[in-house]
Structure formats: structure tokens, C-alpha cells
Amino acid sequence: MSGYEAARANMIERQLQPNKITDERVINAFASLRREVFVPEKLRAIAYSDSELALGTGRYLMAPMLAARLLQAAEIARGDNVLVVGAGVGYEAALTALLGRSVVALEADSELARQGRAALVEHRIASVNFLEGAQSQGSRSRTAYDAILFAGAIAEIPAEISAQLAEGGRMVAVVKPDSGVGRAMLTTRTGGVLASRVMFDAATPLLPGFARKPAFVF
């Protein structure tokens, strides 16, 4: 077993499984991906650490345990179409591709998107479509999405993206106001109505462009 393989096994045994990750499909997805391929070379030695990784320009790759808990809550089925907002280097998009049918990955940083595409090619994952540009509007390349994942914290869930959640769909995000603790939220659409609930406290940096909009003052 190589050093990276041992680190990946350790990630699953010591980070995921002791922290309520019981979905075998989610665990198998993490076991199938070489996380070190998705990060810059200087970070490969710590690719499997239990904290977020700084990618530069204010961007981070979520800690494996947090990503796993969000994906488990999203309950992505094999036929699902998924939207990943703030996809970064594409690691979470690749995980969702192993769980669902197709993935639209939104990323504003062209260099991160380039790294993500290269890692996906190396893994022979062809079901992820990286789209570069503004992220706060979501993507209407599909009528609606069965699952939506934010790959970083947001101050509030944009209404434009909520509107793209399909009937019966699940949206997961760490919602972190200007002050206070971040909370992992699950939002569902049932009978056309959106409902949200807090799942657990969570800490991860805010995605650029998703800070709370200032209130209008007369």
C-alpha cells in the first residue's frame, strides 16, 4: 500500500466512520478518489488531513468529514442530476458524480476549474460539466436539480439557486451568518414548498461572493 493509499484508508477509518458516516455508497466514493490528485502539488502530503486545505486566492477545499456528512444528508441516488456551487478543484463534484447520474460544477476561478478538469480526466469521470463564471445565480442548464451542494460556507441561501431545486430535491449547505456558528442545513422541496432544518454545527470558510448582502438603509 502506497503512502497515499494508507492515508486514504486512514481518512475513512478515523475521520468518516467515527463521525456518523454510515452510507456505504458515500464511503466507497471517498475510497475511490485520489484526493491528492485534486490539490496543488505542495498540498499533496497533507491531502487527507482532517481540516480544510487552503487553495489560494481565498479558496478552500472542505474537510473530508464535513463533505461526507453533507453528501450523506443529500441522499444522492444513481439517477440524480446534481449542482455543485463553488466547485473549486472539483473534489466534491467528483464524489457526487460517483453517486449520481450527472453533475454541473459551477466555479468562478478559471485556474481552479482547470485543475478540477484535469483531475476528473485522470479519474476518467466524464459526467461532470464544469461551468466557469458567476455562481450566485446557479445554472439553468437543466430544468431543475435533484440535489444541490455548496462546496463552502454561505451567509444565506440565494433564492435564485433555491428555485432550481426539483420537487423532492435536497439542498445541503453550511450557512454561516456574519457572526456566530456555522450550521449545516438541509433544504427540501415537497409539494412545491421549501423547508429547511439544521443538521449540525459546522465550520468551513465562506465562498467568495456568498457573504450576506448589506441591508438597504433609507
Domain boundaries, the chain: 3-201
The predicted model gives 24-50 an average pLDDT of 97
Determine which of 100-109, 174-183, 196-205 has the lowest per-residue pLDDT on average. Answer: 174-183
Domain at 3-201: CATH code = 3.40.50.150
> In which band, very low, low, confident or very high, does the pLDDT at 178 lie, cut at 50, 70 and 90?
confident
The predicted model gives 23-42 an average pLDDT of 97
pLDDT at 207: 93
Would you put residue 86 in left (φ > 0), alpha (ψ -120 to 50) or beta? left
> In which band, very low, low, confident or very high, does the pLDDT at 82 lie, cut at 50, 70 and 90?
very high
The predicted model gives 52-76 an average pLDDT of 96
The yes-or-no verdict on residue 166 having pLDDT over 50 is yes
> In which band, very low, low, confident or very high, does the pLDDT at 216 lie, cut at 50, 70 and 90?
very low
> In which band, very low, low, confident or very high, does the pLDDT at 211 lie, cut at 50, 70 and 90?
confident
Query: pLDDT > 70: what percent of the chain?
Result: 95
Rounded to two decimals, the pTM is 0.93
pLDDT at 92: 98
The yes-or-no verdict on residue 84 having pLDDT over 50 is yes
The predicted model gives 107-120 an average pLDDT of 96
